[in-house]
A and B are shown apart, each in its own frame.
Chain A
Amino acid sequence: MSQEKTFRINLPTLFERVNERRREQGLPSVEPAIMAVRASIKFAIRRQKHMDLKDEKGEVEMDEGDADALCQTLGELFNVDLHFDGPETDATAPSAPAASLVPPPDTAGNGEMLVLPLFQFYGSINRERRNKGLQPIEPAVISVRTGIKFSIMQRRTLNFRDNALALSEADLRALDGIVAQQFDANIPGGLRSLCRAPAAEAPAAESPAAPAAAAKGFLSRLFGRNDGKPAQPDGHEAPVHKIHYSLDTSNLLLAIITRRAYLGHKPITPDKVKRRCGKAFSAELELDMDEEKIALPPEQLDAFAEIIRKEFEIMFDDLDDLLGKKLNK
């Protein structure tokens, strides 16, 4: 009997996670529909199989290998670091980046090039700066300053417009020094810990001998603690926890007004916000803004966010914070 776990993944939630990470790095959000199409194509190439990420139900089921491949695909396509860290990390998951992403030390010591994803580079610098109580630095500034210093030190130019850089051990040591000097940040384990081997991703994920730790990627941890639950070893599907979002309507109005002000949009009165919300939500989602609270099932989340975006030209930094997540077992 196969011991491989399968996951049911809520796509709107996953895509919102990707956009959260992008916004953390100062990057614009990506339309979920665009994300789904691009990820489907890239995933099909990588795994040689079709996965409909535009599934109308908003959920897909996949094994751990596919889940990690999807995680890597989204990471590469949309410049996000999908590794969890900090206190939310599953206790059983490795605290370091997934083992499949980091070659053994002796491999890289033989002159082999390693791949440094730049979204992780920027994210790690700013994570370390925040930990020290320092202001984050825009990726545009980091890339220019690092690019110049690297050119001077290594007499070679890196293209920071790419999504990732191929680097030697010596390059990585130079970059570690640059990051410490220019941005007052020391990445734990060095930048090498953020790297992956150039061709290791697919074989490592597909190999039946791949260590369990390698399969414990972002999705395993995300859906292990959220609404996706692995199937039981006997093949029976585990009970699925559904998230319903309970949203206080007056909090929503306040959040919209505040966010618009933050972005410099012209002020709209609370009454007008309420009227526009009521009209749009009732037509598309059958939600009543006259109620004290409204409840949103997961499949309505992206439509909800899209209405707010179109109607008020805003996107929330963290929808979960706004919505007060409630788990109904």
Chain B
Amino acid sequence: MKEAPEFKHGQTFLGGLNHVYHCNHYNAHLQMAVLLAEGVEDGFDPRQLLRDSATRLVQLLKRRGYGAQDLRDEFTWCGFGHFKDVTADQVEMPGSHYGQSTYLLGAPEKSCYFNAGFLQGIADRVVVETACRHMKGRTDVFEFGAPLPAMTDPLVNPPPFTPVPARFDFLGCEIKGTPVDEAKIVATVATLPLYGKPPGGHGDGLIPAFGVVLTNHYADYYNLISYETYRRMIHAGVPADMTREAFVQCGHVCAFNTFGGIMESPEFHALVVPMCQNVQDWVHGMVAVINALGWGAWRVEKIVPGKELVIRIYNSYEGIGYRRLYPAATEKQLSFLALGAVRGLAHLFWKIDIRERPGLSQDFYFKVFNSEQGSWQVEQTHAIAAGDGFDRIVAWK
């Protein structure tokens, strides 16, 4: 690895770029949400957006001094898999997060766009995926083509970071305290081996953990593909609530699988559960774990068990990321992941009771977790993207 991760502002930085942990389910659903935009306007290809967004970030890292091997090492460390050179013009991926761990609900297609875009950035050549596990390929195979011109830096604005208040020490907070030791949880989670190991280290470049497969992804990649797609859909006249919901659902899936998987894990039950006396403490425990994911600094503002949950996020990766890409927005409901994740968090405690380890499966998600019965509403009242000092998400039943 070129450099060690740096933790500040509630975020995790590698090469100056924020990295966030997300699971294969989130990556799959987010990619599918972006692909919905096919045909939204002439000349716009969502597949190209998925590829080129990775390319632009890799080119940015190269301008910051990264070499080809640094990039390959980081790719593997972040859990995307690993490359194997076949010829000078062909690479295959024996281990591939997007090829092995994500999925499509629609008709199968070659869909390792991030990998292709990453390779484009490394080689400065057009890269085409010629075989893919999603199309029953043995591995994912990529071929290099014509030279690719340098792309523009997408991060045009400075990040509007703000100081993060201590837990329960901010105006409007209705929580008095909790026996849950967040500092201890964050420090312990940071010691977990949540990184991809290369083949030389007896790994395949993937990060299986908590019943999902994680990546330590580039937050700016998520922001680029999400907000570019969202803005184009809105511009084309697709209703905003419908468009937003497509992205919020990704966060809801993520909460079920990742939060749920974490809270059912032996690690959580060994470290966090002994600190918990009631369901509120479980919420604080899970939020502490979230604060180790690089998503920004989450602060619980209010819990009314079974009725209301209010979360603030200082330096949220979505809010900060939006402002790095665009001027301040005129709408608030833009932290899609946070909206879905907070609704999912509420569902984990008060739609099902995750404390009883009900067992998480796709069938359970379909029949219970994502059914209309007992669902919570969610709304974003404050948004860094719109110029506020924090994101504030309110979920209620």
Contacts and interface: CB of A to CB of B under 8 A. Distances in A.
A binds B: yes
Interface of A: 23, 26-28, 135-138, 140-141, 144-145, 147-149, 151-153, 155, 157, 180-184, 261-267
A138 B36 CA distance: 17
A326 to B, nearest CB: 28
Contacts of A181: 106-107
Contact of A264 (B239, B353, B362): B353
Given A135-B362, A183-B105, 17 more contacts: A26-B370, A135-B363, A138-B366, A144-B242, A144-B245, A144-B246, A144-B249, A148-B238, A151-B236, A151-B239, A157-B237, A157-B238, A181-B107, A182-B105, A184-B108, A264-B352, A266-B353
Given A144-B249, A264-B358, A26 B233 contact: no
B371 A26 contact: yes
Q: Identify the interface centre among B37, B106, B353: most chain A CB within 10 Å of its CB.
A: B106
Contacts of B246: 144-145, 148
A137 B106 CA distance: 11
B281 to A, nearest CB: 17
A93 to B, nearest CB: 30
B373 interface: yes
24 contacts: A26-B371, A26-B372, A27-B371, A136-B366, A137-B366, A138-B365, A141-B249, A144-B246, A148-B233, A149-B36, A151-B233, A151-B237, A151-B239, A152-B38, A157-B239, A180-B107, A182-B105, A183-B105, A184-B104, A261-B358, A262-B364, A263-B368, A264-B352, A264-B368
Nearest to A129: B105
B243 interface: yes
A135 B366 contact: yes
Nearest to A141: B249
Contacts of B179: none
Nearest to A136: B366
Interface string B1-19: 0000000000000000000
Contacts of B239: 147, 151, 157
B39 interface: yes
Nearest to A262: B358
Interface string B241-260: 01101100100000000000
A28 B358 contact: no
Contact of A23 (B37, B108, B242, B367): B367
B186 interface: no
Contacts of B238: 148, 151-152, 157
A265 B40 contact: no
A264 B356 contact: yes
Contact of A184 (B105, B242, B372): B105
Nearest to B362: A135
Nearest to A156: B237
B354 interface: yes
Given A23-B367, A147-B242, A262-B364, A140 B237 contact: no
A264 B372 contact: no
B284 to A, nearest CB: 20
A184 B106 contact: yes
A310 B365 CA distance: 24
Contacts of B367: 23, 26
A264 B233 CA distance: 39
Contact of A265 (B107, B249, B356): B356
B39 A152 contact: yes
Interface string B105-126: 1111000000000000000000
Nearest to A148: B36
B359 to A, nearest CB: 8
A205 B356 CA distance: 51
Nearest to B239: A157
Nearest to B109: A181
Contacts of B372: 26-28, 140
A152 B42 CA distance: 11
A176 to B, nearest CB: 13
A138 B233 contact: no
Given A144-B242, A262-B358, A153 B39 contact: yes
A138 B29 CA distance: 13
Contacts of A183: 105-106
Contacts of A263: 352, 358, 368
Given A148-B246, A265-B356, A28 B237 contact: no
A26 B107 contact: no
